[in-house]
Chain A
């Protein structure tokens, strides 16, 4: 009996001590709280929505903030050069019809993907550029992940930098939006995970050593440090799909274009950030 009492006393004593320790330890800040201390991130938050800029490290943000230091501008330069370069049988360049890009392309990038009455399809900016090249310039289309295409996409989207994302999801675009939404919530791959399982359920938590973002598409094409070059949003989709051990689709397929529309709507009102820099 005596032994029992001693044991109880020891147990109670230990738990009191433990409780005191827990109370005394200062609350450690979460990774996101630390990121939010940087005053630069405030332009990249709208309500609950945060762009990848917020989740990036301070060093990565510094690279993005300086247009000279940002290596994506090497690709923007290619786009700018090609804008006024005559190509194809029609003897035209982009500038022949559109004039100066900073005027004519202002705000255009923020509205893509867009339903096109001409093709009766949903078109990403890349589809549109190639359609114009083939039909108006009579030139060869560019490959999706080529430097020319990435450069032109980045150059056009750059003209909308800072403007809120504003895609149309009603009218003829509605079925495409719905298909994108379905894709986003559809579990796939050997890990049986949907996009939403990470980017809706667990943003701001650690995914191995990385801080998981909300998966916003407003900074693409982006210079990814991992790729050491600029890459398209669809390339990122392929990466995501592979990570859940699902067979990825090709860049520019309907599945990914629909998904792009859904994501752009998800990022509505966030500022366009192209060309961003990410991990």
Chain B
């Protein structure tokens, strides 16, 4: 999960406008049900939570389970009424979190 996620947030928006945010992160999302070459189960290793905060307040979050395919992709809509920063966080089963942020200017 070392690679940096791809995020698409419009640079600017009008007040009260509904904007679309897209995110994509690289992760193999190991289900815990596959067997390795030695016949033993490969331990589960997935991103179990994704969250998006705007100005410190959570605007979108999702819990993920083993049925989610590799490289999870999210697209969602947010209504913005002031300029600020979107903070994104992906947390995996080991508790490791990858974060990223994007600014938006609202006029």
Contact = CB atoms under 8 A, between A and B. Distances in A.
User: Are the chains A and B members of one assembly?
Assistant: yes
Interface of A: 68-69, 71, 73-74, 77-78, 225, 228-229
Contacts of A77: 3-4, 6
Given A77-B6, A78-B3, A69 B28 contact: no
B73 interface: yes
Nearest to A74: B26
B37 to A, nearest CB: 15
Interface string B58-79: 0000000000011101010000
Interface string B66-101: 000111010100000000000000000000000000
Contact of A69 (B4, B22, B29, B69): B22
Interface string B5-27: 01010000000000000101010
A69 B73 CA distance: 7
Closest 5 CB pairs between A and B?
A: A228-B70, A71-B71, A74-B26, A68-B8, A68-B22
A71 B3 contact: no
Q: Which of B22, B28, B71 has the most CB of A within 10 A?
A: B71
B71 to A, nearest CB: 4
Given A73-B6, A74-B6, 7 more contacts: A68-B6, A68-B22, A69-B22, A71-B24, A71-B70, A77-B3, A78-B3
Interface residues of B, number: 14
A74 B28 CA distance: 12
Nearest to A229: B70
B24 A68 contact: yes
B84 to A, nearest CB: 22
Given A68-B24, A74-B24, A228 B71 contact: yes
Contacts of B24: 68-69, 71, 73-74
A149 to B, nearest CB: 15
A52 to B, nearest CB: 20
A34 to B, nearest CB: 25
Contacts of A225: 69
B39 to A, nearest CB: 20
A225 B73 CA distance: 13
A69 B3 CA distance: 16
Contacts of A69: 22, 24, 73, 75
A150 B6 CA distance: 18
A17 to B, nearest CB: 49
A69 B24 CA distance: 7
Interface string B38-69: 00000000000000000000000000000001
Contacts of A229: 28, 70-71
